[in-house]
């Protein structure tokens, strides 16, 4: 099978890594890719937002499957263009991707499907915003309605800051604050059959102890030793299947990856958000644990034959990923700095720990930073404690001037797992 992956982040590197290990994959291409993906796939320049260009590239390569990684091309209709060219594609249509592209749309689908989520108001004027903020009280949750790369949400006790964020958006969703730990649960779907993956937890804030601004994600781990074993079945029954069924009923079936961002509140599971693609950095840890070869599953989702697939198989191992980010991320990052130590990780730590690239590019013989999140250092181990140790040992070998990473990824979960087994 010839596969083309669209995107250039650590998520796409994780997808390409898994696909490169799949014996059914005979050729692997990525566009536009990055310096790390170049080691496992042939790279091609493309404007990932241009559906015709992506379809033309896929046809030229004779691709049997196109996997669209990021949300922006999906919302721009890239999957539709590839599908129209007669090539199987893993990723939802433009219309179905509105589940991520518009928070107001997602709320409407959830209401129709009876999916539990935070109560909310959609506001377009300062008066409506003020009323909604007043109705819920602090902590205030203010979300830009459109795509904002994980940075459109402000959660604050400061009324003025909440109003200011709202004033900078055309349309905002103001919602009730959900307490409790967050879980990311991904499901692969062909528009009817829904196959959940293993849950993961993401660390959204920039700094240790969940301080600092929201980011695209600074690290992740899986499994979740503290979560109830019935969580996945419950979310499948109350969230994932009803959402997929509702979009099917509307005539805009969702095929691809449905990502449920959940809060486990004292009153039960609530959806914080949906995404229409694999999450980053959770994908790095979820795929590290997946034993089933990936290509066949993604192709079955693209072809509408998921119901015929055998159940997914998982490793017993735990996985942890730590994101190494540029100086000043999530503000305007500093780029162009050389990265060293990658060879040491490959020589000393592989295959238990490895580096997935996000914002990197080649500059002659060097690899240099080219974005906010630069690397996602991923490790597996018999438990979270071992996976963490391996991930941080590898992080310690990497040198990137001015870089930052969190030191507490999976720390509490590793601790709780040890206490539970002690």
Give me the residues that bind ligand GLY (CB under 6 A), please: 150, 202, 217, 275, 279-280, 282
For ligand GLY, the closer CB: 223 or 279:
279
For ligand AMP, the closer CB: 191 or 216:
216
Q: Which does 141 bind (CB under 5 to 8 A by kind): ligand GLY, ligand AMP, none?
A: ligand AMP
Q: Kindly list the residues in this chain that would bind ligand AMP in the complex (CB under 6 A).
A: 118, 141, 143, 150, 153, 155, 175, 177-178, 182, 204, 214, 261, 272-273
Least distance from ligand GLY to the Cβ atom of residue 161, Å: 22
For ligand AMP, the closer CB: 182 or 386:
182
Q: Which does 280 bind (CB under 5 to 8 A by kind): ligand AMP, ligand GLY, none?
A: ligand GLY
For ligand AMP, the closer CB: 139 or 304:
139
Least distance from ligand GLY to the Cβ atom of residue 279, Å: 3
Q: Which does 214 bind (CB under 5 to 8 A by kind): ligand AMP, ligand GLY, none?
A: ligand AMP
HEC per residue, the chain: CEEEEEECCHHHHHHHHHHHCCCCCCEEEEEECCCCHHHCCEECCCCCCCHHHHHHHHHHHCCCEEEECCHHHHHCCHHHHHHHCCCCEECCCCCCCHHHHCHHHHHHHHHHHCCCECCEEEECCHHHHHHHHHHHCCCEEEEECCCCCCCCEEEECCHHHHHHHHHCCCCEEEECCCCCCEEEEEEEECCCCEEECCCEEECCEEEHHHEEEECCCCEEEECCCCCCCCHHHHHHHHHHHHHHHHHHHCCCCCCEEEEEEEEEECCEEEEEEEECCCCCCHHHHHHHHECCCHHHHHHHHHHCCHHHCCCCCECCCEEEEEEEECCCCCCCCCCCCEEECHHHHHHHCCCCEEEEECCEEEECCEEEECCCEEEEEEEEECCHHHHHHHHHHHHHHCEECCCECCCCCCHHHHHHHHHHHC
For ligand AMP, the closer CB: 118 or 299:
118
Q: Which does 317 bind (CB under 5 to 8 A by kind): ligand AMP, ligand GLY, none?
A: none
For ligand GLY, the closer CB: 58 or 410:
410
Q: Which does 94 bind (CB under 5 to 8 A by kind): ligand GLY, ligand AMP, none?
A: none
For ligand AMP, the closer CB: 266 or 421:
266
Q: Which does 182 bind (CB under 5 to 8 A by kind): ligand GLY, ligand AMP, none?
A: ligand AMP
Q: Which does 279 bind (CB under 5 to 8 A by kind): ligand GLY, ligand AMP, none?
A: ligand GLY
Minimal CB distance residue for ligand AMP: 273
Least distance from ligand GLY to the Cβ atom of residue 209, Å: 19
Least distance from ligand GLY to the Cβ atom of residue 164, Å: 23
């Amino acid at each position: 099978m010839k596969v083309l992956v669209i995107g250039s982040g650590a998520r796409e590197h994780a997808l390409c890594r898994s696909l490169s290990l799949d014996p059914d994959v005979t050729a692997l291409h990525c566009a536009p890719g990055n310096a790390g993906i170049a080691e496992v796939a042939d790279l091609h320049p493309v404007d990932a937002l241009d559906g015709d260009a992506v379809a033309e590239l896929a046809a030229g390569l004779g691709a049997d499957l196109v996997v669209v990684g990021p949300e922006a091309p999906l919302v721009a209709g890239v999957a539709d263009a590839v599908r129209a060219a007669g090539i199987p594609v893993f990723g939802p249509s433009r219309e179905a991707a509105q589940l991520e592209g518009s928070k107001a749309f997602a709320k409407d689908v959830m209401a129709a499907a009876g999916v539990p989520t935070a109560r909310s108001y959609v506001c377009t004027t300062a008066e409506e915003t003020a009323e909604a903020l007043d109705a819920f009280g602090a902590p205030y949750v203010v979300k830009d309605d459109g795509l904002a790369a994980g940075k459109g949400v402000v959660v604050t006790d400061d009324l003025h800051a909440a109003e200011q964020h709202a004033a900078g958006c055309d349309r905002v969703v103001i919602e009730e604050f959900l307490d409790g730990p967050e879980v990311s649960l991904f499901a692969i779907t062909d528009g009817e059959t829904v196959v959940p993956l293993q849950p993961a937890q993401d660390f959204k804030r920039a700094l240790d102890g969940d301080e600092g601004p929201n980011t695209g994600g600074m690290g992740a781990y899986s499994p979740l030793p503290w979560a109830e074993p019935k969580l996945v079945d419950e979310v499948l029954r109350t969230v994932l299947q009803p959402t997929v069924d509702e979009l099917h009923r509307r005539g805009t079936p969702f095929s691809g990856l449905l990502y449920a961002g959940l809060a486990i509140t004292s009153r039960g599971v609530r959806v914080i958000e949906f995404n229409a693609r694999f999450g980053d950095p959770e994908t790095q840890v979820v795929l590290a644990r997946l034993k089933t070869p990936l290509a066949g599953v993604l192709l079955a989702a693209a072809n509408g034959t998921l119901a015929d697939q055998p159940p997914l198989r998982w490793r017993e191992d735990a996985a942890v990923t730590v994101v190494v980010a540029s100086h000043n991320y999530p503000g305007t990052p500093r780029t162009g700095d050389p990265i060293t130590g990658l060879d040491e990780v490959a020589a000393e730590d592989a295959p238990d720990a490895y580096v997935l690239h996000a914002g990197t590019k080649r500059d002659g013989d060097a690899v240099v930073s080219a974005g906010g999140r630069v690397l996602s250092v991923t490790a597996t181990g018999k438990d979270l404690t071992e996976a963490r140790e391996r991930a941080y040992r590898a992080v310690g070998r990497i040198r990137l001037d001015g870089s930052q990473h969190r030191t507490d990824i999976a720390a509490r979960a590793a601790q709780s797992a040890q206490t539970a087994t002690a």
